[in-house]
Amino acid sequence: MEEGQRFAQQHAIPNVYSSLDKMLAREKLDVTIVATPDHLHAEAVEISIKADVAVYCEKPLSNDAFSAHKLVALQKTKDTPATVGYSFRFNPAVQSLKSDLSNGKFGEIWLVELAEHNPQFHPLGGKPMNWKGDPSQAAGGALFEYGSHIIDMGAWLLGPISRVSSHFKRVIDGARLDDIATLQLGFACGTQGMLISSWVLSGGFPGTRIRLHGSKAVGEVLIDDRLPEGQSYFFAPAYGPGGGYRKVELMTNPHTDAATRHIASFMASVRGNNESQSTLPSLTQAAHVQDVLAAALLAENQWQDVVVNSNSEL
């Protein structure tokens, strides 16, 4: 937590939301939507909660764990509805995977593979880098942009992540943040995890892959707009023949369906309907993602050298 506090102090910014503060004091609003660069998220969320206005914040919740946990503590004193944009939980294929997991069809989960990547900023044809690659506005690159989504997904499916190691690679000319991030994860439940996030590696939107290896079964969800239905869910026994693609609910639009479902769920909670809200990402869960991201930044390149014989024929 001390590292996060230092980060917050070093990246302190003027109160650019003074106009928001005044507007919320003057107007009776139902919801604030925060869709700014990352370094401005926490301040806008704080102002909204203090004004008792429900808030939907794009991910990640903050640039550091310290300010994220401050928001969690504040929300608990106000009981203001709030959520963070980890919308891919609402994808129908992910929902089917979650249901099978909850019903014990996988048995004990030994390993989870998590990935999200597409060539948003690929040097051969992607769009020009924007604030997402600027360390003054984003604490991490592809890890924060894409990795936060699948860190959230892993923790939502399997529970808290308790250990992490990481490696970052920069391939874009002049890159100051990670273009490719690989993490090893240790879950509190004992599951081992691997994660890949990147904004230069090939993939469709959003380019998400979740693969669970259980003692009873293996399952893989793909969310990718290059697929005929934008998603797929493969389920098979862990040992022996059988298995195949499960039929899942069709999406209205692969690019917007999950976010639309997320917003509908959030608005239901704003109206006081808290039934069946187990998928809705909470600030507490988003703060855990920040804890993992912070740990990953600190754990970069914790390598053990391998001695290679110079006379080796490898």
Domain membership of residue 171 (yes or no) is yes
Model-level pTM?
0.90
CATH number of the domain that residue 186 is part of? 3.30.360.10
Q: Report the candidate in 181, 184, 128, 186 with the shortest Cα–Cα distance to residue 159.
A: 186
74-117: per-residue pLDDT in tens? 999 998 999 999 999 999 999 999 999 999 999 999 999 999 99
132-146: per-residue pLDDT in tens? 999 999 999 999 999
CA–CA gap between residue 68 and residue 84 (Å, rounded): 11
Which residues, in sequence order, are CB contacts of 134 under 8 Å at separation 6+? 176, 177
Q: Which domain holds residue 69?
A: 2-84
237-272: per-residue pLDDT in tens? 999 999 999 999 999 999 999 999 999 999 999 998
- Do 287 and 157 lie in a common domain? yes
Domain membership of residue 132 (yes or no) is yes
Domain membership of residue 314 (yes or no) is no
- Do 91 and 73 lie in a common domain? no
CA–CA gap between residue 226 and residue 207 (Å, rounded): 9
Domain membership of residue 227 (yes or no) is yes
- Do 141 and 219 lie in a common domain? yes
207-242: per-residue pLDDT in tens? 999 999 999 999 999 999 999 999 999 999 999 999
**According to the model, what pLDDT value does residue 79 have?**
86
Size of the chain in residues:
314
Domain membership of residue 307 (yes or no) is no
CATH number of the domain that residue 15 is part of? 3.40.50.720
151-185: per-residue pLDDT in tens? 999 999 999 999 999 999 999 999 999 999 999 99
Residue 14 has pLDDT above 80, yes or no: no
